[in-house]
Amino acid sequence: MLHYQLQISMATIISMIGIVLSILMGFRISSAYDRWWEARKIWGALVNDSRTLIRQLIVFTLETKVTGKHLQSMAYRQIAFLYALGQRLRGQPDFSVIASFLYTDEWDDLVKRENFPNLLLLHNLYAFKKLESEGHITNFDMLRLDETTARLTDSLGGAERIKNTPFPIPYSHFTSFLVHLFAMLLPFGMVETFGYIAIPIAICVIFIFMIIEQIAIEIQDPFSNKENDIPVTAIANALEIDIKEMLGDRVLPFRNKAHDGIIM
């Protein structure tokens, strides 16, 4: 009896690996979720700051000679910015949806350049500067527009950061390796106890860990053109509606509907 008590059984070893794996997986999924939620917050900030920017433009140019058409061109450039950023993050080369929001020559020029969305922000700031130097808006107004643009730049960079920075590779490789190691060890100790029932039970336990890993992989890259992405197109579409409404349009675009339960 004494002898028995000094021994460690296979069950203890398996349990221990199981606990380590659970804790590592718990951290894995929670940091994947944090990336996803941070990406969502960044897109939220893009919407908020776009609304603020257009609201500022509308109000600052009130009772000036700035035409509604001029105002619209700047507001549409901001809408184009959001669509363009979404397409770029997802690596989709088709920017044609954006063309309708830009002047033809601007579009022709920009489409050949490197960082499309970054240049759109610059172009809008050019337009604001022109308003200032022509006396339509004050220094104070320009200050505020520049501040809002700086925040938009932060969100642009934040989205690129999440897109371009993979989750630390040694960590994701190691947890993946551990799941497979565990998958190989587990059935060994089970065959004799359970007989043929061992196979479905072992598969079941292993699947649990593999599914968790898979969910983490899905969520951690929220701009990968898959169904659990941040719905960047739908968000840009919602912003388009809001901005057009603020400009006074009465006929608004349709809201993006879910296709097969998926909103992009």
Closest approach, Cβ 142 to a copy of itself, in A, equals 7
Which residues share a beta bridge with 262?
Answer: 259
By beta-carbon proximity to a copy of itself, the closer residue of 76 and 116 is 116
Tell which residue, 59, 85, 83, 57, has the closest CA to residue 71: 57
Q: Kindly compute the dihedral angle of the four CA atoms of residues 168, 32, 214, 189, in this order, to the nearest 10 degrees.
A: 80
The dihedral region occupied by 254, where left means phi > 0, alpha psi between -120 and 50, and beta the remainder, is beta
DSSP designation for 197? G
CA dist., res. 206 & res. 86, Å (int): 36
By beta-carbon proximity to a copy of itself, the closer residue of 17 and 71 is 17
By beta-carbon proximity to a copy of itself, the closer residue of 92 and 161 is 161
Closest approach, Cβ 35 to a copy of itself, in A, equals 9
The dihedral region occupied by 85, where left means phi > 0, alpha psi between -120 and 50, and beta the remainder, is alpha
Closest approach, Cβ 97 to a copy of itself, in A, equals 21
Closest approach, Cβ 263 to a copy of itself, in A, equals 10
Closest approach, Cβ 66 to a copy of itself, in A, equals 13
By beta-carbon proximity to a copy of itself, the closer residue of 199 and 252 is 252
